[in-house]
Amino acid sequence: MDRLTPQQRHVNMAAIRSKDTKPEMIVRRGLWSRGFRYRLNYKWLPGHPDLVLRKYRTCIFVNGCFWHGHNVTESQMSDGRSKKEDVLVSSECCKIPSTNNAFWEAKIRRNMERDKEEQRKLAAMGWHCITIWECELKPKLRERTLDSLAFTLNHIWLQDKGCKMYDVRGKM
């Protein structure tokens, strides 16, 4: 006997896919419970977005803070001579290891450049892109992040329909 509701089944089936990372599952469940429907892993779109909401013409990327360099900054460091080199400065959630520093820095920088390029391509194709960071899904921040994601999607939908929207909180 199959006692799963369609929603449970959806969550279950999604859970056994091998590519599923936990943060991505949080976003999926959060959107699903707020009534949003999405497609997964649109392979033919640049960057293979984690979730695609066609109705909202929006791609969502759920990014790990370390690999995608969340909040790292570029800093111009002078080595004392005339030559200047850009270095990546670690952030709270992306600590670039000091061992093999150059390797990690190059790797993270490449990922960041790729992300930017893919989102530029998607924008040129008329897609909105939203990035959700792993650190924004920590238990304390999770609900707020998902609420604001839902808010942003509704905002996008209204804007695409040519409606003006006013927010009493003055946020957007």
Query: Which x/- pattern over 92-131 shows residues binding Zn ion (rule: CB under 5 A)?
Result: -x--------------------------------------
Stretch binding Zn ion (CB under 5 A), from 36-44, 66-74, 76-84, 99-107: 66-74
- The answer to the question of residue 65 lying near Zn ion (CB under 5 A) is yes
Stretch binding Zn ion (CB under 5 A), from 19-27, 42-50, 89-97, 157-165: 89-97
The token pair at 32 is 């699903």
- The answer to the question of residue 135 lying near Zn ion (CB under 5 A) is yes
Quick one: how far is CA 92 from the chain centroid?
Answer: 17
Closest to 44 (Cα-Cα) out of 120, 103, 141, 121: 121
In angstroms, give the least distance from the CB of 62 to Zn ion: 12
In angstroms, give the least distance from the CB of 136 to Zn ion: 7
Residues 68-87 that bind Zn ion (CB under 5 A): 70
Question: CA 124, 158, 133 angle in degrees (round to 5)?
Answer: 60
Q: Where does the chain show beta strands of DSSP type E? A: 39-40, 51-53, 58-63, 73-78, 84-89, 128-133
For residues 157 and 64, give the distance between their C-alpha atoms in angstroms, rounded to a whole number.
27
For residues 148 and 15, give the distance between their C-alpha atoms in angstroms, rounded to a whole number.
24
State the amino acid at position 93 in one-letter form.
Answer: C
For residue 1, give Cα distances in angstroms to 6, 7, 126.
14, 17, 45
In angstroms, give the least distance from the CB of 116 to Zn ion: 17
Stretch binding Zn ion (CB under 5 A), from 64-72, 76-84, 119-127, 157-165: 64-72
Binds Zn ion (CB under 5 A): choice among 105, 122, 133, 153 = 133
Residues 13-52 that bind Zn ion (CB under 5 A): none
- Residue numbers at the binding site for Zn ion (CB under 5 A): 65, 70, 93, 133, 135
